[in-house]
Structure 1
């Protein structure tokens, strides 16, 4: 699991994730944080990176036509949208 460090990132995790859900125990917290970190690094737009996530591959071309599918993250707290395969 990647680690998110720094006060700003901790504030982001709290605002977008943990402040909006009931955490049952440490195992549940670790599971939810792992899912959020995957979203944060692989899909969440970052203003400082021209709306691209940290793990964005510059060579990837996204098709502009076709059906769009939604994927629920954190039981629907966050939604990601992708082109259907």
Structure 2
């Protein structure tokens, strides 16, 4: 967890499918307003991220995908844009 201006940045694993509703409800309760997924499309599909997106939307949490290939690095310009949009 890191404080950035008036916000906080958390790094965490994908919520479990079994506890998804409870996890997202907790995220909302503690003030999380945006979630950025770093999973690739194939991983999102395999892990059922569509349900995650729906649950986030139901709790007014913005869900954004920023795909990074496993063991890879993002392109500097794209990453810079992501950071600027988060801040």
Higher relative contact order (CA 8 A, sep 6+): 2
* Larger of the two Rg values belongs to structure: 1
TM-score, normalising length: structure 2: 0.27
Report the structure, 1 or 2, having the larger helix content. 2
TM-score (norm 1): 0.27
